[in-house]
């Protein structure tokens, strides 16, 4: 049995998500100890439990320690049997993080499966759903992942109520070589609001577009205003394989939200690397399965943590090296073995 220390480096829920997904893929039982031990609220939360339940459903796993606050979890996978089902996180917990857990399983399923997930689409400390749809899936298509995300309803903290349909199709993971950004100058995006006035997404788009154009980029940002259970706003931007975002907050003017999103994207693009720092950690399991090299703007503790987990499941070693060529300033992550 593989034992993973849940307090390693950033010590967050990502350790649980990656461990469970790779346990199902490799059919190796895993015990995760010290789950989120360094965090104020230790142990599993509703969001982590939802991730485990989703993978459990797909591989008929036996699980010990699956309850809120649990600091130790043991997962015994069985043969993967794809099936379509619905999953309610039960809170405004991130749907994106559940999807992040499920995407690697596309490498081993034999038929398409659709999972309809209810929870939060746009919440703090998690990738917004439009980033998953327009950046993550685009990058993962380069390694052979065949998946689709359909946003049916948006959900914000604390009520949630977002609904997303994820479709996974059998995928053959292949080698990837993606180092430098394409230098595409077209920035796409979406400025959205729910249960708020129409001017809010317009104001976010205006301030964002002005800053992007000032820096030589061509913005094409769509507007969305919807009704739903929860209230919120935000903006997500992407330029080819690099993305950024900013979530609206009470007391934070729409113009500031739009400007912050643009500033964050410009900072990522300044590195000249193909992947932003968020994609850097999400690509790790796929690099292990398909091998290759990717260029990343910054190496985060999330990335190093995912490397630690993945190296426990696969006969592979990762190397990280600085990259300073063609005006780029970042890092290369590559596999050895």
Binding-site sequence positions:
100, 278-282
Comparing CA positions, the residue from 96, 126, 135, 80 lying closest to residue 283 is: 135
Q: Exactly one of 48, 181, 302, 331 is catalytic; which is it?
A: 302
CATH of 82-172, one of 3.40.50.720, 3.40.50.1100, 3.65.10.20, 3.40.50.880: 3.65.10.20
pLDDT in tens, 277-292: 999 999 999 999 999 9
Superfamily designation of domain 186-261: RNA 3'-terminal phosphate cyclase, insert domain (3.30.360.20)
pLDDT in tens, 151-163: 999 999 999 999 9
Using 50, 70 and 90 to split pLDDT, how confident is the model at 166? very high
Binding-site sequence positions for ATP:
100, 278-282
Say if residue 128's pLDDT is above 70: yes
Hey, how many other C-beta atoms are within 10 angstroms of the C-beta on 320?
Answer: 15
Query: Strands 330-336 and 317-323: what pairing?
Result: antiparallel
pLDDT in tens, 317-330: 999 999 999 999 99
Q: How many helices (H) and strands (E) does the chain have?
A: 10, 16
Say if residue 101's pLDDT is above 90: yes
Say if residue 75's pLDDT is above 90: yes
Say if residue 201's pLDDT is above 80: yes
Quick one: which H or E segment has residue 102? helix 95-102
Hey, how many other C-beta atoms are within 10 angstroms of the C-beta on 27?
Answer: 13
243: three-class secondary structure by DSSP = strand
Q: Is 181 a catalytic residue?
A: no
Q: What is the largest CA-CA distance in the chain?
A: 55
Contacts of 251 (CB under 8 A, 6+ apart): none
Res 40: pLDDT: 85
Cα 273 to its chain centre, rounded Å, is 18
Using 50, 70 and 90 to split pLDDT, how confident is the model at 35? very high
Res 270: pLDDT: 97
pLDDT in tens, 9-29: 988 999 999 999 999 999 999
Res 303: pLDDT: 97
What mean pLDDT do residues 292-307 have? 96
Using 50, 70 and 90 to split pLDDT, how confident is the model at 39? confident
Domain 1-79 classified CATH 3.30.110?
Answer: yes
What mean pLDDT do residues 96-106 have? 97
What mean pLDDT do residues 172-198 have? 96
- Report the C-alpha gap between 191 and 222 in whole angstroms: 6
Q: What is the pTM of this model?
A: 0.96
Res 64: pLDDT: 97
Hey, how many other C-beta atoms are within 10 angstroms of the C-beta on 164?
Answer: 25
- Report the C-alpha gap between 180 and 287 in whole angstroms: 17
Res 124: pLDDT: 94
Cβ atoms of 182 and 189 within 8 Å: the answer is: no
Using 50, 70 and 90 to split pLDDT, how confident is the model at 106? very high
Res 337: pLDDT: 60
- Report the C-alpha gap between 55 and 25 in whole angstroms: 10
């Amino acid at each position: 049995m593989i034992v993973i220390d849940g307090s390693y480096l950033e010590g967050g829920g990502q350790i649980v998500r990656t461990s469970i997904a790779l346990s199902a893929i490799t059919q190796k039982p895993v015990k995760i100890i010290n789950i989120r031990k360094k965090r104020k609220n230790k142990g599993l939360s509703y969001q982590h439990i939802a991730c485990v339940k989703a993978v459990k459903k797909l591989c008929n796993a036996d699980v010990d320690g699956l309850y809120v606050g649990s600091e130790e979890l043991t997962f015994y996978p069985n043969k993967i049997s794809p099936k379509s089902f619905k999953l309610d996180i039960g809170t405004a917990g991130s749907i994106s993080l559940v999807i992040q857990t499920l995407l690697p399983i596309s490498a081993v399923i034999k038929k398409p499966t659709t999972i309809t997930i209810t929870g939060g689409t746009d919440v703090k400390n998690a990738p917004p759903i439009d980033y998953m749809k327009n950046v993550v899936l685009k990058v993962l298509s380069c390694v052979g992942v065949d998946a689709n995300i359909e946003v049916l309803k948006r959900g914000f903290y604390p009520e949630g109520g977002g609904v997303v349909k994820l479709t996974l199709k059998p995928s053959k993971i292949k080698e990837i070589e993606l180092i430098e950004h394409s230098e595409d100058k077209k920035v796409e995006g979406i400025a959205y609001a729910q249960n708020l006035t129409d001017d809010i997404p317009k104001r976010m788009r205006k301030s964002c577009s002005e800053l992007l154009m000032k820096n030589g980029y061509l913005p094409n940002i769509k507007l969305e205003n919807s009704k739903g259970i929860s209230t919120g706003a935000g903006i997500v931007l992407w330029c080819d394989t690099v993305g950024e975002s900013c979530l609206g907050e009470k007391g934070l003017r729409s113009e500031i939200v739009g400007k912050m999103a643009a500033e964050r994207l410009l900072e990522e693009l300044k590195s000249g690397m193909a992947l932003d720092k968020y994609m850097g950690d999400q690509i790790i399991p796929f690099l292990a399965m398909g091998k290759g090299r990717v260029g990343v703007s910054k190496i985060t503790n999330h990335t190093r943590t995912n490397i630690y987990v993945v190296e426990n499941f696969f006969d592979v070693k990762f190397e990280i090296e600085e990259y300073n060529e063609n005006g780029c300033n970042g890092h290369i992550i590559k596999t050895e073995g």
